[in-house]
Amino acid sequence: MAISKRLKAIAKYTDGFDSLADIACDHGYLGIYAVEHYGLKKVLLTDINPMPLASAEKNCSLKGLNDVISLKLGDGLTPLTEDYDVISISGIGGILMKDILSKDLSRIKNAKRLILCPNTDLYEVRKFLNDNFFVIEEEEIIFDYKYYEIIVARYSGQPQNYSLLELKYGPKLLQNRTSDFISYYSEQLKLLTNQIQFVTDGPSKEKFVLKINEIQQILGNNL
């Protein structure tokens, strides 16, 4: 079973926990890898679509993990009838991810860890976490054919008051500024600098200038 660099990066954040609910599990690779490499004792795989869930069930059977991994068809967090240490959601857009999380706040508050890897709209996800008193404990940006950002959070019950810049670019990412972080935003800066030459509309150009200035700020001496 070949597993992507992205899923391996997500799986490592399950280390030290006993149970995982993987929402929108696709073919079940994350749950299987987490059991095999991090010793999880109970995993629930869910998906809204029956075909990927059937594929996940087949993969679990081939690995002989039916006693550890269960599967449920359903939308978002609705298949969860009990609490899990870790809830992971990846491979979907940030707006949809925020909607899924907001529909069952009590469930995600009870989790010891959220692992979120939205394909888009990272700002919306971070803003949701900030507005609902979740602390962002870890963040990672990795390149796996394209760039992905991973957000690891938990409910704290205390306001974090992340700044606008932190919500856009990630409080932990801004602290660490890894090589992948620098590479990604260096590429973004080059792209925006090329695109702005063709922007004639005043308000649109202002947005480009703001974005360019922000990226120059976060890159700092790495420009």
The reported pLDDT for the residue numbered 220 is: 85
For residue 203, name the pLDDT band (cuts at 50, 70, 90): confident
Whole-model pTM?
0.95
Q: What is the pLDDT of residues 102-116, one digit of tens each?
A: 999 999 999 999 999
Exposed (0-12), middle (13-18) or buried (19+): which is 127, by Cβ within 10 Å?
middle
What's the Rg (C-alpha) of the chain? 19
Q: What is the pLDDT of residues 180-195, one digit of tens each?
A: 999 999 999 999 999 9
pLDDT of residue 92 exceeding 80, the answer is yes
Look at the block and give the residue holding tokens 């420009």.
223
Instruction: Give the ranges where the chain is alpha helix by DSSP (H).
Output: 5-11, 29-38, 50-62, 94-102, 105-110, 122-131, 164-169, 171-176, 179-195, 202-219
Q: What is the pLDDT of residues 121-177, one digit of tens each?
A: 999 999 999 999 999 999 999 999 999 999 999 999 999 999 999 999 999 999 999
The reported pLDDT for the residue numbered 202 is: 85
The reported pLDDT for the residue numbered 150 is: 98
The reported pLDDT for the residue numbered 31 is: 97
Side chain identity at residue 101, one-letter code: L
Between 122-131 and 94-102, two packed helices, what is the crossing angle to 10 degrees? 20
Secondary structure (3-state) at 179: helix
Q: Are 98 and 128 in contact (CB under 8 A)?
A: yes
The reported pLDDT for the residue numbered 204 is: 86
Q: What is the pLDDT of residues 51-68, one digit of tens each?
A: 999 999 999 999 999 999
The reported pLDDT for the residue numbered 101 is: 97
Side chain identity at residue 94, one-letter code: G
pLDDT of residue 201 exceeding 90, the answer is no
CA 204 to chain centre: 29
Side chain identity at residue 80, one-letter code: L
pLDDT of residue 10 exceeding 80, the answer is yes
pLDDT of residue 1 exceeding 80, the answer is no
Average predicted confidence (pLDDT) for the chain: 95
